[in-house]
Structure 1
Amino acid sequence: MVEGKRIFERVYICLKACKEGFRSGCRPLIGLDGCFLRGYCKGLLLAAVGIDATNSMYPIAYAVCEKENTNTWSWFLKLLKEDLDIDRPSQFAMMSDRQKGLENAIASVFEGAEVRNCVRHLHSNFKKDHPGLLLKQQLWAAAKTTTIPEFQKRMRELRDTSENAYNWLALKTPSEWSRSHFSEMVKCDMLLNNLCESFNTVIVDARDKPIITLLEKIRYWLMSRFFNKRESLKKWIHPVGKRILQVVEKNKSIAKNCLTTRAATYQFQVDCPNNESFDVDLQKRTCSCRRFQLTGIPCGHALAAIWTSGAEIMDYIHECYKKEAFLKAYAGIIYPMPSPEQWPETGLNPIYPPFETNLPGRPKKARRRESDEPPPSSTKTRRFGQIHLCKKCKQPGHTSKTCPNPTNAQVPAQKKRGRPPAANPTEATKKRKERLTKQKQSFSQQGGSKTRARQHDLS
């Protein structure tokens, strides 16, 4: 309130369809992220995104606030916890990029929840002091491990490469970035916060608009998305979606090379070509590699056991991937809304926009990318495998402007349009004169005949 005027500060939105769909049809994983607004009213958009039955993003709630800190994140998470009616936060996993104030807010509001950090952002901080492709590969290898012995083995390999890099990574809690320490209750082994990144990409054009237009565009997109998802369910041939089928097909390539030995009705020992053996229990739906428990989708070892038992693969896929869960998530309807011109007047004291704050420099459209990050996708065709040569020395690896050996330049003669030059310039000059003389004579003869014809007609 400034001199009797109400100034906009924050707004939180959680639509009923999104709230009920997440509670009934999505897994207990919430991705949190914030992005800048680039319109007249600067600020931030905070978003909470879940994951549906097809491993796609599921927007839950979003809010517009003035800045990003512990206060704003705590305010957002308290409202989110109240809307989702979360009594036991320990049953949820929170995925984030470790943004400003977010860690403290999660610890205070969602006390006991499993915290996961995006490994890509973890590596962005890791490579500042420990660059190199080998260290990057070893970090990702440790993050992708699913068992504790394998994780310890990868960490020893990292320590043999760089003691400092190992010490830096050992200070991080393994349950925040390695699958080997993830909870099996969530049924999701994602290492990246791509759910929120996808949501930010969808609303990138709306972030340039005023706040009311921004919120209306997001509502319109959600309304259309929920309807399209319900319609896409009619095309499902199998009990699960295409993305889940692709994971199953990938695991089948592993199962083809496995040898199973039955120990009991539901227990198997699965031997792999690399001399590794795994224990599979189909009744408990477990495998000693832990991939089955982490995702809820049978791994390659479990598929080999399922084939041996003669059971159906779809019966061993978790219910969170089935049609029923997908329909529950998108069963709600986001109703249409008329334009602001038709909204009723709420009173004589309207809410004014926040104060304008212009940041220094030219406004940026795209986010800042890392040096080793690939460029964004473009409609232009990219050329791969072509070797470009210097125009001066005809050597690869540089251009004519940065040529290191201009003295040895071998500049080819520039090709001119028209006929190639003659070997003898004097002979060519004579032929050209003779040709011009013949052309003059032919022109004079034609002009004289035409003149005599005109004089004859006049006479």
Structure 2
Amino acid sequence: MEIALEYAKGNSLGSYNLLPDYLHKLAEENPGTLAEIETEYNENIGNRFKYMFLAMGASIMGFEHMRKVVVVDGTHLRGKYAGCLLTASAQDGNYQVFPLAIAIIDRENDNSLAKAYPEAKHCACILHLKRNIKTYSKDKNLGFLVAKAGRAYRLADFYKIFNEIKHVNASCAYYLIGIGFEHWAHSHFPGRRYNIMTSNIAESWNAVLREAREYPMLALVEFIRAKLMSWFSTRGSTISASLDNFTPKVMEILVVNFESSAGFEVKKIKHLEYEVRNKEECSFHVDISKRFCCCFEFQLLEIPCQHAIAAAIVAKVKVDSLVAEEYTQNAMVAAYVGSVAPVIHTDNIIELTGQLSELDMLPPSSRRPPGRPRKKRFLSRGEVRMKTPRRHTVCSRCKGCGHNRATCKTPIS
């Protein structure tokens, strides 16, 4: 398999030697692109590859129109040489993956991540947290409560659910306290994480790169470049054809909130400030001028909640004006206005990697362990892989009698 892969995608050794020239040309064809390689020198051997970083100019330019939440994740390479692929991604206004940058490192550790975003607020994935909770109890309701507490917008709602967690499993509650509420609970987070409560953005991007992680280094980077080129082209065309003011995903949310606001009682407090009572007679304070609702959904998502919509209708304020700019079609157009161009004269790149005999830059010293690389990831503790049901093959010689081929007794004509 490795031999066939090298015939198709190029030689793994030669791939590293061509990488510096490839990245240089890629940066020339795509203005604003950041591409760096770091090597380590050995007197007896020469330069060895150590780290690589790449951020396309189109991604850098498009990030200006994104909500400032970045999901960083790492996944192992499965080629001849060991390494780890780090990805940094955002989420566009239509809740789609927006890749920002990639890096190839020797391995994922504290040294490779300690200096990243020192002033940013860090938070945990709620799904990974639920998996860890299974070590404390097999009760599925416990994981549900943790996720519910993490997604709660109001402090009162959070503590109500968290007290229930303490009642169900005290050890789990102390574990969550040890993590720090600000790292996993929406209501305690000091910044804005919007709807991004999981690392699904990074997981989805890793799934796209699953097969490419077996490729030689140059072929892997070229696969990522081609994928970005396709996404920027396709999404840019789709957005231009839409007539709505906002992205399809946000329009769905607005429609649901608008329908839910029917029948609410709205009373004016003062200019653009209202008391809104829902059908359960619960009271909510809405200040349209500050884009505030005491349910906290409005200000944390920057999309009008059902209470804010009810107040806006009475105040004769356009609901469109209360939605964050990052969710608009104009922002989406600006985010994908850039393009990702290919490197010129790369048609014979596979042949070149196979013909190189004298290397200026050697691959990393660490090689993948012997044996066939794993196709499936290791399961987290407590995680169960679902079994795929066996296919029922219908016999063809009995003209669709419905019997399984192995048990069919119809004689062969």
- TM-score with structure 1 setting the length: 0.70
Does residue 180 of structure 1 match 2:187? yes
1:7 paired residue number: 48
Against the structure 1 CA distance between its residues 287 and 373, is the aligned structure 2 distance closer, same or farther, given a 3 Å change threshold?
Answer: farther
- Cα deviation for residue 223 of structure 1 reads 1.3
CA contact (8 A) 2:78 2:368 kept: no
Does residue 120 of structure 1 match 2:161? no
Instruction: Give, as a single letter, the amino acid of the residue that structure 1 aligns with 2:61.
Output: E
- Cα deviation for residue 144 of structure 1 reads 1.4
CA contact (8 A) 1:239 1:323 kept: yes
Runs of 5+ unmatched residues, structure 1: 74-104, 382-413, 419-459
Q: Distance in 2 between matches of 1:19 and 1:316?
A: 27
- TM-score with structure 2 setting the length: 0.77
- Cα deviation for residue 260 of structure 1 reads 1.7
Against the structure 1 CA distance between its residues 293 and 374, is the aligned structure 2 distance closer, same or farther, given a 3 Å change threshold?
Answer: farther
- Cα deviation for residue 120 of structure 1 reads 1.0
- Cα deviation for residue 375 of structure 1 reads 4.3
CA contact (8 A) 2:81 2:363 kept: yes
CA contact (8 A) 1:174 1:181 kept: yes
Instruction: Give, as a single letter, the amino acid of the residue that structure 2 aligns with 1:358.
Output: R
Instruction: Give, as a single letter, the amino acid of the residue that structure 2 aligns with 1:298.
Output: P
Q: Distance in 1 between matches of 2:373 and 2:167?
A: 45
Name the SS for the 2:159 alignment partner: helix
Deviation string 1:371-427 (CA, Å, 9 cap, x unpaired) is 55674999989xxxxxxxxxxxxxxxxxxxxxxxxxxxxxxxx99769xxxxxxxxx
Deviation string 1:326-356 (CA, Å, 9 cap, x unpaired) is 122222221122316369999x752222346
User: Residues 148-227 of structure 1 correspond to what in structure 2 (within 5 A)?
Assistant: 148-183=155-190, 186=192, 188-227=194-233
- Cα deviation for residue 130 of structure 1 reads 2.8
Q: CA RMSD in A?
A: 3.0
2:251 paired residue number: 245
Which residue of the other structure, out of 362, 366, 369, is the alignment partner of 1:359? 369
CA contact (8 A) 1:182 1:294 kept: no
Q: Distance in 2 between matches of 1:34 and 1:248?
A: 35
> What is the percentage of aligned positions where both structures have the same residue?
26
Name the SS for the 1:29 alignment partner: coil
1:297 paired residue number: 303
1:25 paired residue number: 65
CA contact (8 A) 2:257 2:305 kept: yes
1:71 paired residue number: 111
- Cα deviation for residue 71 of structure 1 reads 2.0
Instruction: Give, as a single letter, the amino acid of the residue that structure 2 aligns with 1:351.
Output: M
Instruction: Give, as a single letter, the amino acid of the residue that structure 2 aligns with 1:308.
Output: V
Name the SS for the 2:128 alignment partner: helix
Instruction: Give, as a single letter, the amino acid of the residue that structure 2 aligns with 1:137.
Output: F
User: Residues 290-439 of structure 1 correspond to what in structure 2 (within 5 A)?
Assistant: 290-337=296-343, 338-339=345-346, 341=348, 350-355=360-365, 357-359=367-369, 362-370=372-380, 372=383, 375=386
Q: Distance in 2 between matches of 1:378 and 1:52?
A: 36
- Cα deviation for residue 250 of structure 1 reads 2.3
CA contact (8 A) 1:50 1:58 kept: yes
Deviation string 1:172-229 (CA, Å, 9 cap, x unpaired) is 2111111111345x36132101111111011112111011100010011111211112
- Cα deviation for residue 232 of structure 1 reads 1.1
- Give the number of aligned pairs: 351
CA contact (8 A) 1:183 1:294 kept: no
Q: Bigger radius of gyration, 1 or 2?
A: 1
Against the structure 1 CA distance between its residues 276 and 353, is the aligned structure 2 distance closer, same or farther, given a 3 Å change threshold?
Answer: same
Q: Distance in 1 between matches of 2:155 and 2:384?
A: 30
2:117 paired residue number: 110
- Cα deviation for residue 70 of structure 1 reads 1.7
Deviation string 1:88-120 (CA, Å, 9 cap, x unpaired) is xxxxxxxxxxxxxxxxx1xx4433321110011
- Cα deviation for residue 259 of structure 1 reads 2.2
Q: More relative contact order in 1 or in 2 (CA 8 Å, sep 6+)?
A: 2
Name the SS for the 1:117 alignment partner: coil
Q: Distance in 2 between matches of 1:247 and 1:16?
A: 32
CA contact (8 A) 1:257 1:273 kept: yes
Q: Distance in 1 between matches of 2:291 and 2:390?
A: 45
Name the SS for the 1:116 alignment partner: coil
Instruction: Give, as a single letter, the amino acid of the residue that structure 2 aligns with 1:229.
Output: R
- Cα deviation for residue 310 of structure 1 reads 2.9
Q: Distance in 2 between matches of 1:245 and 1:379?
A: 40
Does residue 54 of structure 1 match 2:69? no
